[in-house]
């Protein structure tokens, strides 16, 4: 059985690697915690699998190592930052701290960030907000990457453009993190590297033919991922992807219309305080009623029971906190050269 690693040990290891690579110590600790949280929730393509690529970005100078975001606009419930290509997880956590404080005063607060670096797993931020009895929405796009075709097209125009949201109930929170394409770039790259196929026709090749081969995105010219809904109902994922583009790049005033800068993100964050709307207890009562009704729904044949979004992730998180994180094969090996270069080793 593969060795499991305690979450604190993984956070300490990732923090040390990032700090040795030149990132501010406080930023390193935040990034390490968010990456580890991704693995705790079972999002193995968007957890510590990103650490080696982040270290490479720091080495190249394409991720900013020190500094603060530039304030572009600041209103009581609407803030815009230029992230200056600082680490995305650190920027999002900083923005959440600000949005939470202001939402408690104003009912809601929205922060949009342009020129952020990659922000990792969106689900990893949700519990920070729902644990305080608040609701949040989070979305991002990478304005300089194109991997998803619009519905009816055969060339990539935008990124998977995920939408995440979380809100409290009287029990566990509801937590969702859904891409507006059938799958993600990270899973596509993993499957292609491992010479595996998608479970179904999730992409199109350069000629526009549906395929289950992730290598179709690595050809010249490349194919593209299909929007959420696939060939039949992809107009839905396409429409939501355009909404994400409006919420991120358009609201931030910086995106696909600008010269490329490299791997990064435009980010939309909104926090809402139920206490300043219909009341916190009433919110929980209504949310719990819907959640309980869904859970009590008789399952269709072949389904054990109806679950809520995020339920599996929270169960996985609790199990791995208790028994150690089961890292996806290859993550430790990918970090071995960085451990040797930077003199930081897991378990020290």
Please compute the mean of the pLDDT values over residues 187-202 and round it to a whole number.
97
* Residue span of the structural domain in which 55 resides: 1-66+307-348
Residue ranges in the chain assigned as alpha helix (H)? 7-20, 25-40, 51-60, 88-106, 126-130, 185-193, 230-245, 251-252, 280-295, 311-323, 331-342
Instruction: Give the integer Cα–Cα distance in Å for 249 and 226.
Output: 21
Q: 201: how many CB neighbours lie within 10 A of its CB? A: 15
- Considering the domain architecture, whether residues 80 and 166 belong to the same structural domain is answered as yes
336 pLDDT more than 80: yes
If asked whether residues 1 and 142 sit together in one domain, one would say: no
Q: Are residues 125 and 45 in the same domain?
A: no
Q: Are 272 and 343 in the same domain?
A: no
Residue 333 lies in a domain: yes
Statement to judge: residues 164 and 85 lie in one domain:
yes
Task: Express each pLDDT in 34-83 by its tens digit.
Answer: 999 999 999 999 999 999 999 999 999 999 999 999 999 999 999 999 99
CATH code where residue 59 lies: 1.10.1530.10
Would residue 185 count as lying in a domain? no
Query: Which SS3 state, helix, strand or coil, does residue 171 take?
Result: coil
The pLDDT score that the predictor gives to residue 2 is: 62
Whole-number pLDDT of residue 277: 98
Do 108 and 22 share a structural domain? no
pTM metric for this prediction:
0.97
Query: What digits encode the pLDDT tens for the residues 4-44?
Result: 999 999 999 999 999 999 999 999 999 999 999 999 999 99
Any domain includes 290: yes
Average pLDDT over residues 117-136: 98
Per the structure, how many domains does the chain have?
A: 2
198 inside domain: no
């Amino acid at each position: 059985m593969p060795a499991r690693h305690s979450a604190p040990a993984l956070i300490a290891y990732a923090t040390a690697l990032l700090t040795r690579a030149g990132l501010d110590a406080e930023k390193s600790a935040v990034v390490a915690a968010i990456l580890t949280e991704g693995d705790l929730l079972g999002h193995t393509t968007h957890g510590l699998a990103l650490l080696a690529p982040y270290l490479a970005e720091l080495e190249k100078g394409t991720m900013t190592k020190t500094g603060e975001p530039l304030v572009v606009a600041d209103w009581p419930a609407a803030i815009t930052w230029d992230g200056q290509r600082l680490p995305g997880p650190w920027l999002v956590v900083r923005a959440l701290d600000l949005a939470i404080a202001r939402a408690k005063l104003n009912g809601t607060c929205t922060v949009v960030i342009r020129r952020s670096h990659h922000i990792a797993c969106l689900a990893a931020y949700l519990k920070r907000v729902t644990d305080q009895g608040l609701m949040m929405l989070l979305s991002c796009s990478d304005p300089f990457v194109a991997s998803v075709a619009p519905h009816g097209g055969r060339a990539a125009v935008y990124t998977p453009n995920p939408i995440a949201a979380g809100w409290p109930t009287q029990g566990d929170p509801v937590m969702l993190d859904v891409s507006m394409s059938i799958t993600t770039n990270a899973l596509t790259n993993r499957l292609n590297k491992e010479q595996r196929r998608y479970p179904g026709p999730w992409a199109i090749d350069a000629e526009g033919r549906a395929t289950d081969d992730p290598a179709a995105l690595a050809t010249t010219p490349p194919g593209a991922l299909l929007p959420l809904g696939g060939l039949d109902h992809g107009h839905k994922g396409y429409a939501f992807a355009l909404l994400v583009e409006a919420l991120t790049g358009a609201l931030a005033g910086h995106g696909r219309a600008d010269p490329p800068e490299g791997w990064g993100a435009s980010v939309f964050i909104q926090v809402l305080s139920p206490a300043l709307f219909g009341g916190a207890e009433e919110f929980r009562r209504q949310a719990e009623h819907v959640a309980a009704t869904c859970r009590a729904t008789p399952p269709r044949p072949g389904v054990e029971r109806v679950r809520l979004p995020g339920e599996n992730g929270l169960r996985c998180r609790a199990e791995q906190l208790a028994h150690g994180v089961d890292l996806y094969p290859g993550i430790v090996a990918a970090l071995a050269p960085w451990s040797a270069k930077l003199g930081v080793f897991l378990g020290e």
